[in-house]
Amino acid sequence: MRIQGALTAMITPFRGGQVDFERLARNVRWQIEQGIDGLVPVGTTGESPTLSHQEHRQVIEAVVKASAATKRAGAKPLVVAGSGSNSTTEALELTQHAKNVGADAVLLVNPYYNRPTQEGLYRHFMTLADKVAIPQVLYNIPGRTGVQLSLETIVRLSEHPNIVGIKEATGSLDVTSEIVCATDPRKFTVLSGDDSLTLPLMAVGAVGVISVVSNMLPARVKALVDAAAAGDLTTARKLHQQLFPLFSGCLKLATNPIPIKTAMNLLGKDSGELRLPLCEMGAAETAKLEKILAEHGVGKAG
């Protein structure tokens, strides 16, 4: 499986302290209607660290079910379910569950907090790849996990047929260039993990993005990715410049997913509550975000 294009790192809506499955299904349907290429539930943007294992499983099942029930001409979006953990046993259980309920692929974050060695990382991901026959995307985000996959480890892992790509969120063009140069693009793809770097990373060989901003602007993010993939640099650069202030505002005013949930609420796409320890943005930051949305023509019509 070649995973590419514009995929949405979906928020998890909460209401009264519980997952709002009705809103989640509406979000899935709207994303599909807007033409998104993939849905990525229970990642960083989905507040996965504060979901119970039962909620985690339920969210994946709900996204798979809502996606299957939504009609759209052409190819259906892939569901790439977040199933990583800092415990290999837990990651294995979540990954097997994602396969059992019909996810197309899984996203596997680097084990966090316990800071394994490169050999430990290799064995962790190889255990999952050996035991669950589902396409698997690595997720390299050292700013969240405290550990980074080395190029050597990525190359070793890319040789496994079930490991098909990486979400690259180190913020480094050099890292992406090194991965692209050292792996087989027919078997292993790189996806941007930072909205603001989607075009630069695609210029050096990435094939898409797992996007936060596409929660509210899926069609515009997809247009950027499609233009870059087609080699239409003029259009891609124009779209990047239009979207960049939104990328920056939705990722730098507060910890993700606080700004994107706030933005969606401001646009009438109620994303529900945040779950502690995440909390609402302050009044000053919210005003800045609202100004950015207004200045760049983002209204309730989306």
Q: Based on the residue annotation, tell me whether 167 is a catalytic residue of this protein.
A: yes
Q: Is residue 266 part of a domain?
A: no
Q: Is residue 292 part of a domain?
A: no
Q: Is residue 270 part of a domain?
A: no
Greatest Cα pair distance, the chain, in angstroms, is 50
Structure tokens at 115: 């800071």
Q: Based on the residue annotation, tell me whether 269 is a catalytic residue of this protein.
A: no
Total count of domains within the chain: 1
Q: Give the rounded distance of the alpha carbon of 18 from its chain centre.
A: 22
Helix (H, G, I), strand (E, B) or coil at 147: coil
Q: Which domain holds residue 198?
A: 5-230
Look at 295 and 234; give whichever has higher pLDDT. 234
Residue of 99, 122, 167, 261 marked catalytic:
167
Beta strand 5-9 pairing with 38-40: parallel
Q: Is residue 285 part of a domain?
A: no
Residue of 139, 222, 261, 269 marked catalytic:
139
Q: For the segment 68-85, what is each residue's pLDDT rounded down to a tens digit?
A: 999 887 788 999 999 999
Q: Is residue 271 part of a domain?
A: no
Q: How confident is the model at residue 297 (pLDDT cuts 50, 70, 90)?
A: confident
Query: What is the domain-level CATH number for residue 75?
Result: 3.20.20.70
Is omega for the bond preceding 49 within 30 degrees of 0, making it cis?
A: no
Q: For the segment 229-266, what is each residue's pLDDT rounded down to a tens digit?
A: 999 999 999 999 999 999 988 888 999 999 999 999 99
